Structures are given as structure tokens and as C-alpha cells.
Structure 1
Amino acid sequence: MFRKAFLLFIIAISILSCSKKKDPNFVFILVDDLGWADVKCNYPESFYDTPNIDKLAESGVRFTQAYAANPVCSPTRAAIMTGKHPNRVNITDWIPGNDPKKRPLLGPQDADELALDEVTIAEKLKEKGYKTGFIGKWHLGKKGFYPEDQGFDSNIGGYHMGHPPGGYYSPYNNPKLPDGPEGEYLTDRLANEGIKFIKENKENPFFLYLAFYTVHTPIQAAKSSIEKYKAKRETLNIEEVPFREEGEGWTKMLQEDAPYASMVNAMDENVGRILAALKEHGLDENTWIIFTSDNGGLSTLYRPNAPTSNGPLRAGKGWCYEGGIRVPLIIAGPDVADPGRTTETPAISMDYFTTILNLAEIDHKDNDGQNLLPILTNEGSLDRDELFWHYPHYHGSAWTPGSAIRKGDWKLVLFYEDDHVELYNLANDPGESTNITEQNPEKVSELQKLLEVHLNETNAQFPVPNHDYAPRD
């Protein structure tokens, strides 16, 4: 009788153990400077081939109107880490930024690191026993503020630099990344490290943050596919690459750069390798994957030699027009309903913090983000109608200090040098080609007031007049 009861007890325990839901894993893939139109599933006319990213979209939800929190990298990366608007953590420019002294305005002095008292997503996941690994570009502070100081168990490649100092081929000249064999390509190496992390932590719930340095400058071709794209470019029969004026700068209007295309190709291949590794270790059905970028593609500069074009979107990295802030976003995972669909629901960098922590069932403050799970499960909507951006600095893309707000389909852009505003309706004019302020004075007033409320509420800092500025004749 005792043996029978004991056996039933063991069976019951086994059933309970088997039925207990495992904590999901998370793989967050962040590509540097990848434009909205740089992936084929967003922009079928793209010069670049991204079959693995396209396949990921078929297994998840593709957000067609996803945004970076800022048109440059460090503020967006801080927003992802904390779920807070960049204004709140006082990181509103790339670190350390470029503060010209011969312009009409002086930009505010923002922080050069993510403060240690900020609670990061890695620190929250560690509360529940997650293994946390950072691989790639950090750009959120010098020594003492590295990933290992902000909740990550391991850090490979992450330090204060915003670009690969040794370029994309070993030796890397990166104190957090030992050199590989001669000819090793950085994007391949970071994926190798990601696959190793997955294998070593397959028995534990884990959070892998894979932040590729690519496709940031310097533009250095991946040897594996450069000949393919050189040949493809020849078929375009281009006599002259088209550009258009953008303020004092120039925006590239056509994708045709073969070395850049090969860098996108290498990134896509390595995304495929990460997905294959998850499947090989039986983790693909219990892993959430988020794929996105930190800002729009680099299409606008003071001189006409940018590497990419953002398709129908206006301008690029550094600008608060759509080309500078709209980014690819694909989320795939166990509870996605109707995989392969798209959503026009706007999402932004701060949303990932609360979305991941809700999926992990970890108590947290929502901060400035929203939980995207209702969109992923197709069981609801977001209670948000407004997004705003604040970039009060000058940038090498020819951007001058300004801010922007989107409410529904309406978008207002404000420039601080002369306080002029522009109004667009994104439903009718996604390329922001027609300024309709004069036809809609009440909407302009509404959005300006709303933007002012958001800026004040997030403790935004503003540029000030440069009293030493002497206008050029």
C-alpha cells in the first residue's frame, strides 16, 4: 500500500514538473544604422537581399510603423535598456556627441554614460535567474559603465566606442573582444559568440543581447558577397546616383552601394545562423526574438556620399523625419497569433523593456513604454496615440536642433534655430513632402502644445542662443 501511494506521489510530482511552464528565452538583435527600407520584407524594391530576416517576419509580427526613440544611437540604446524616454536619462545625443561652437545655437550638455542607478532590463531579468549576455556595440559609457556594470553576466565587444575602431576585419583593436584569425569578419565573429552563448546556456532561461556593429561606418565589404552586389549594381545601369537637397545637406535617393549591400547580406546570414542555433538546441519554440535598429539608415550628409537610401521616407539618420526614426521591427515568439502578419500599430524603443518583462512575468514599472503583447497575440490594442522625439543637437547629417511629435496620422516637426514648424499627414504623405501648416492652424497649435507638455514632463533640455555666433555673409 505504501509503495503504491509513493509511486502515485512520484507520478503526480512528475506531471506537475512537466506541466510547469518554462520561462521563455529572449534574443534581442539590434543592428546599427539599419534603415527601414534596408530589409526586403519592408521594401520589396530594396537593392539588398535579406532572406533570413524575411523568413523571421513570416514566423512573427512585422511592425510597419516602428520607431527608434531618437534619430541617433546612444539615446535609443539607453531607451531600450531602461524603458525610459532618452530625455529622462539625459542622453539625447550620441556619446560623446559633437557640439559645434560656430552655430546659432549651443546644444545642451547631456550625460556621457547611462547612470548606474538606472534599472536595466538585464538587471530585472537577473532577479528571476536569467543568464544575461551582451555581445557587440554598447556605446553607453566608459569603463565603470560597461554592460557588466549594468546587469550583464558577460560582455563581449561592448565598450564606449560607437564604431569598430579596428574596422570589420581582425585585428579589431577592441579591449573587450580578443582578435580572431586573420581575415575574420566582425559580424561573423559576433554571431559565433552569440551561438556559443546559446549553447552554453541552453539549460537556463537566458537573455542574449546581440548588438551588431554593422552597418555603421566604416563601410567595409563582406568578402563573401561583394562580387554578387558589384554585379547586381552593374545591372542598374546608373549614370549618376540621384540626391536631393535636405537643409544644408543631401539625401541619397537610390540604394546602389555594393559594399554596404554586402554588409547587410552578412548581417542577414548571421541572423539566420542564430535562428538555426536556437532550432538545433531545441529552443526555437520557447524563445522570443526581437529584431530592430537603433535609428534610420545613413542617407543624409553634408556631402552626397551616404551609403544607403530610406526608400520613400524622407531624410535619414540624425533627422526627425521618418527616414531618421522609422526602423525595422519584427517580433517572433511562442504566443504570436497569426504569424506572418503585419501591423500598422506604432511601436517605439521604450516598449521592449516592459514587453519582455511582462513575457518573463517579472514585476516592474512600465516607465515610458507599453506592453506589445496584445498586438502580438492579436487580442487587443495599445492605449497610446502619441509619440515624440527630441534631438536638441546639431548632427553631421545636416540636422539642426529640433523635436517632433506624432499623434494619429499627424506629424509635427519643430526646428529651434528659427522656431519654424512643419506639419504632415503620414497617411496621405508618408514621405513628408508637403508641409500643410497653413491649411491646418488648429492642428499645429494642438500638436505644439502637446509636444511642450511631453518635453516638460520628461525634463527635456533645450539648446540656447550662441552669443558668439557670427553669421556668414
Structure 2
Amino acid sequence: MAVKWIVFILVSISVSSLPAADQQRPNIVVILADDFGVGDIQAHYPQNKIPTPYLDRLVQQGISYTDAHSGSAVCTPTRYGLLTGRYSWRTRMQEWVVAAYEPPLITEDRPTLPGFLKEQGYRTACIGKWHLGWNWPGAQPSRMTEKRNGLWKLQWDFTKPIKGGPTARGFDYYFGVDLPNLPPFAFIENDRLTTQPTAGFQLDHSEGIVLPRGFVGAPTAPGWRMQKILPEITKRAVQYVHDQAQQASPFFLYFSMTSPHEPVVPSAKFRGKSGIAPIADFVMETDWSAGQVIKAIDQAGIAENTIVIFTADNGHSHYTGWDDLINAGHFPSGPYRGHKGDIWEGGHRVPLVVRWPNRIKPGSESHQMVCLTDLFATNAEIVGAELPSNGAEDSMSFLPSLLGKKSDQHRTSLVNHSNHGEFAYRDGPWKLVFKMSGRNLQQSRGKPTITELYHLDADIGEQKNLVKQRPKIVAQMTADFQKLIDQGSSRASQISANDTQVRFDTIQERRWAPAQK
């Protein structure tokens, strides 16, 4: 299993494969942890040091995927892939994430998982971190900029609705923050700030560590406390579950957590609880938060008609206390190389745990390759609906494996993307990496990538480069990868188009690539 985790709740099963009495559409809840390592669930890695009793129980009740991956090693692109079923590198964003006040990455005409489920009669909600861009009102429009966070000092009108966010991309309801370490520092409900950010952000080291020191003076709600973000969105998610359990129609909840991503701000009852470091305390609070949502499902009496999946958006962060964890004998990436941001397995291999009472064998394990883009197709099969012909290009259902059934129609290849825009292409156990040639991104821009080949079954730590010994495999995989790019889709029967020219043989010269002509 890998570094980052997400919790995801899905319910029911494909209508065609259930007895008539069981043909009830499931509730679907996604809990996406942020920078949560594969080694952070103690039930998967008992030798590791951070207690995670809630997630340990989920593991005992469900199935764990050992070869599950986010499409990217960082936040925004993974969220794009999860909600659209499409790799984010097919968009104009070729590296990093959406910065402060930049526009929506999901275009208005793009099918989304919540929008698709709404068409099937679901009520949909996103609670937590969005980080997919908005059209912020102001004297100037939100726009794509090469300078990272180059818009934050401009003037924006926070009294007006913010367009292009969750409620314009398929969700009926939204509450949360754009992300906890970018301005404006305030909660957003639907398309408006709940409190006007009339104060200026000031560092308060009593809050925690890895605070957003680059945004001192940024618009902030008066009395804003970062330690209250996770408890508040947890409370809201729990209440949503209880409220929706009283309704006749099914619901989809996407609980996008803000932890243990920076700022590392464990609340009072978790501060110092691990005995290791603040980041370990925050991992414990993340476990608690996910556990409260799962507990709410149980207490509301809807557990049997709800699938719970926990996973994460990428690997564990290396700059929030990594060395403290390693020195304590806790390995966030397990046996894998790398961490958040990397093209190596530790950057994008994520835990994926699914609970489905009376459907999934408790305490079971699957070695099937899965990508978080596959949640779209899996849900489509669960509700018995066809995928949209104009979307979900990189989504493949893993429903049979959830039910312990074998299927010829499953994922055998995979594309991963790093923070710096590097690519990796998987074909079964083989992984072909196209990495930067320079020591950093700026030195590598416009230069050819370096190709490396690894056989993961024999070398899970990616230590033995076989590119010179296996030239035929390199040539075939390179050709297959180029075909997948050119086709605009991973689905054999679908021909689509990328939003820009996509290159893996060189490192991109710009963060936002020109639109495809």
C-alpha cells in the first residue's frame, strides 16, 4: 500500500448483479485524506508507531488494495482525476497545483462524478478542501499565471458570489475552505464566504508548525483559527450523514479532508498525544476525523447500504516532520521509494480501503491495480448507468474485485505524474519512468527526460534500473504510452482529445501549457 489516503464511501452494487430485493442504489461517501501516508494506518504496517484505531477497524471490516494509485503525486491534479475520471495532465496544467485565486481546472462542460450521480437521483455534497479553482470576483478575472501564487496581493471582492466552484460542478451543497494554507483564510458555504475576511493574516506559532508564513497580511476572517478547520468540517460531515439518512433518495458525500496536510495544526485534545511530533498528532486526528464519519454512518443505521472507502490524494509530505517520524521508527511510505511530489511509488501509491457489509469479505486484500480516476466508472456500474460518452476518459470499474469476482475487464496499465511534470507509465509489473535531467525543475525545462525502467514485482524499492537490459520492453511501453496520449483516453472504445500538447520526452517549459489548436 502506499503513502496518501482517502476515505471513500460507496454503497450497493450493480443493479443487474443483485437479487430484486437488494436493488437499492447505495449512498456514496468519499473521505479523501490529504498527505496521509500508506504507512500511516497501523493495521497495514503494525511495526509503525502512530495508533490509528478507527482506520484499523475499517481495515478489519473491509478490503484493502495494495496496488492503488492517485493519478498525481500532489493535490489538485488528483482531485481533478477523482471527480472527472480523467488524468489531469490532459488539461493545460502540466505541473504543480492550482494557486491562490486561479480559475477552475474543471471546465464548465466537463462531466463530473457528482453531476453524473445527480442525474441518477442522488443528493450530492462536498465538505472540506476544494483546491480546484474558482472564478473569484474582482477588478481583474481569475487567470492562469506562471508565477506561483502571483495573484494573492491583488484586490478581490469577497462580498459577491464565487463562481465555478463545487456547486457549479455537480454538488448541491458545499462547505469548507479552498485549502487551509492559501488565502482567503475563511470558510466558504456554497458560493459565498461565511464571514468577510476583513482581518490580515498573522503568524501565531501556538497554532502549530509549517504555517503559511508567505501570506502574512492576506485576507482573513476575524478570529480565524486553523486548529478549528478539521473539527468544523468533521462536524459538518457527520451532521450531513445524519440528515441525509432520514431521506428516501440516496446521497453522495465527498469529504475532502484538510489533514495531515500543512499547516500542521492538531487541535488541543490531540496536541502531544502521539509522543512523537506534531505531524504524528495530526495523523492521529485525521484517523479520528475519518472515524467520526464512519461512526455516523453506523449510528444512522445506513451502514449496510453504504460502502466506505478510505484513501488519499498522494504520498506523505516530506517537509512537515518526515525525519521525526523516521527517527521514531515510523515509515510513512512503507517499503516504497519517495514521498509526496515524487514520480516514485511513494509519491502516488495510496491506500484504498473499502467496507461494504454483506458484500465485501472482511479483512480481505486485493492486489489489482487501481487508480482514483476509476471511482467514476465503479460508481457508474454500481448504479447501473452508462459512463458519459464525452467524459471519464481514464476511468475503469473495479467493482468485480470489490465483490471478490474475477473479470477480464480491469486496469492493467497506469499513468502517474509528479509535482514537476514527470511521467511514469505502468504495464503490469513494469514501470517506465521519464524523469528530469537536471537537479531541479528550472534547470530541466525544455530538456529531454531521462528514461528508467523498473520491475516492481522484483524491485518494489525501485533501485535497479533495467533500461539498458530490456530495450524491447522500453520501446513497446513507450509506443503504448504515446498511443494512450494520442487517443485522449485510456478506454479502448473511446477517442477523445487532450486540452494541450502532451510531451513526456521533454520537461514542459510552462506550468500552464497553451491550449490545443
Which of 470, 477, 502 aligns to 1:461? It is 502
The correspondence of residues 86-165 of structure 1 with structure 2, limited to 5 A, is: 86-96=88-98, 113-142=105-134, 143-159=162-178, 161=179, 163=181, 165=183
Aligned residue identity for 1:191: T
Aligned residue in 2 for 1:249: none
Aligned residue identity for 1:370: M
SS state of the match for residue 424, structure 1? strand
Farther-moved stretch of structure 1 (42-51 vs 258-267): 42-51
Q: CA deviation at 1:90?
A: 3.7
Deviations 1:90-120 (A, max 9, x none): 444343369xxxxxxxxxxx98521011111
C-alpha contact 1:35 1:326 (8 A) present in aligned 2: no
Aligned residue identity for 1:82: T
Aligned residue in 2 for 1:263: 282
SS state of the match for residue 465, structure 2? coil
The correspondence of residues 425-436 of structure 1 with structure 2, limited to 5 A, is: 425-436=455-466
Aligned residue identity for 2:236: E
Aligned residue in 2 for 1:345: 368
C-alpha contact 1:222 1:259 (8 A) present in aligned 2: no
SS state of the match for residue 227, structure 1? coil
Which of 334, 349, 352 aligns to 1:311? It is 334
Farther-moved stretch of structure 1 (31-40 vs 357-366): 357-366
% identity of equivalent residues: 30
C-alpha contact 2:432 2:452 (8 A) present in aligned 1: yes
C-alpha contact 1:354 1:370 (8 A) present in aligned 2: yes
Aligned residue in 1 for 2:58: 56
Which of 317, 331, 344 aligns to 1:321? It is 344
Query: CA separation in 2, counterparts of 1:284 and 1:453?
Result: 43
Aligned residue in 1 for 2:78: 76
Q: CA deviation at 1:48?
A: 1.6
Aligned residue in 1 for 2:382: 359
| 1:368 to 2:368 alignment | no
C-alpha contact 1:57 1:340 (8 A) present in aligned 2: yes
Q: Identify unmatched segments of 5+ residues in structure 2.
A: 1-19, 135-161, 196-222, 438-447, 489-497, 511-517
| 1:387 to 2:414 alignment | yes
Query: CA separation in 2, counterparts of 1:210 and 1:229?
Result: 25
SS state of the match for residue 28, structure 1? strand
C-alpha contact 1:122 1:152 (8 A) present in aligned 2: yes
Deviations 1:148-184 (A, max 9, x none): 111111100143x463658xxxxx5334475899796
Deviations 1:394-430 (A, max 9, x none): 3xxxxxx421111111111112544321111111111
C-alpha contact 2:126 2:174 (8 A) present in aligned 1: yes
Q: How many residues align?
A: 399
Aligned residue in 1 for 2:210: none
Query: CA separation in 2, counterparts of 1:464 and 1:311?
Result: 29
The structure-2 alpha-carbon separation of the partners of 1:403 and 1:97, relative to structure 1 and needing over 3 Å to count, comes to farther
The structure-2 alpha-carbon separation of the partners of 1:409 and 1:443, relative to structure 1 and needing over 3 Å to count, comes to same
The structure-2 alpha-carbon separation of the partners of 1:207 and 1:63, relative to structure 1 and needing over 3 Å to count, comes to same
Query: CA separation in 2, counterparts of 1:131 and 1:184?
Result: 30
Q: CA deviation at 1:259?
A: 0.7
The structure-2 alpha-carbon separation of the partners of 1:441 and 1:137, relative to structure 1 and needing over 3 Å to count, comes to same
Which of 422, 426, 432 aligns to 1:402? It is 422
Aligned residue in 2 for 1:29: 31
| 1:207 to 2:252 alignment | yes
Deviations 1:365-389 (A, max 9, x none): 3532111111011111343321112
Aligned residue in 1 for 2:202: none
| 1:415 to 2:435 alignment | yes
Aligned residue identity for 1:173: A
The structure-2 alpha-carbon separation of the partners of 1:126 and 1:72, relative to structure 1 and needing over 3 Å to count, comes to same
Query: CA separation in 2, counterparts of 1:295 and 1:370?
Result: 20
C-alpha contact 2:177 2:186 (8 A) present in aligned 1: no
Aligned residue in 1 for 2:310: 291
The correspondence of residues 190-201 of structure 1 with structure 2, limited to 5 A, is: 190-201=233-244
Query: CA separation in 1, counterparts of 2:72 and 2:226?
Result: 34
Aligned residue in 2 for 1:224: 269
The structure-2 alpha-carbon separation of the partners of 1:97 and 1:429, relative to structure 1 and needing over 3 Å to count, comes to farther
Which of 187, 208, 232 aligns to 1:174? It is 187
Q: CA deviation at 1:305?
A: 8.5
C-alpha contact 2:180 2:262 (8 A) present in aligned 1: no
Farther-moved stretch of structure 1 (182-191 vs 217-226): 182-191
Farther-moved stretch of structure 1 (313-322 vs 79-88): 79-88
SS state of the match for residue 274, structure 2? helix
Query: CA separation in 2, counterparts of 1:183 and 1:216?
Result: 12
The structure-2 alpha-carbon separation of the partners of 1:272 and 1:164, relative to structure 1 and needing over 3 Å to count, comes to farther
Query: CA separation in 1, counterparts of 2:399 and 2:480?
Result: 27
Query: CA separation in 2, counterparts of 1:306 and 1:461?
Result: 37
Question: Bigger radius of gyration, 1 or 2?
Answer: 1
Aligned residue in 1 for 2:212: none
C-alpha contact 2:397 2:410 (8 A) present in aligned 1: no
Query: CA separation in 1, counterparts of 2:325 and 2:95?
Result: 20
| 1:446 to 2:476 alignment | yes
Which of 297, 301, 326 aligns to 1:278? It is 297
SS state of the match for residue 188, structure 1? helix
Query: CA separation in 2, counterparts of 1:197 and 1:96?
Result: 28
Aligned residue identity for 1:189: E
C-alpha contact 1:33 1:317 (8 A) present in aligned 2: yes
Q: TM-score w.r.t. structure 2 length? A: 0.71
Q: CA deviation at 1:36?
A: 1.6
C-alpha contact 2:29 2:252 (8 A) present in aligned 1: yes
The structure-2 alpha-carbon separation of the partners of 1:334 and 1:360, relative to structure 1 and needing over 3 Å to count, comes to farther
C-alpha contact 1:404 1:451 (8 A) present in aligned 2: no
C-alpha contact 1:188 1:266 (8 A) present in aligned 2: no
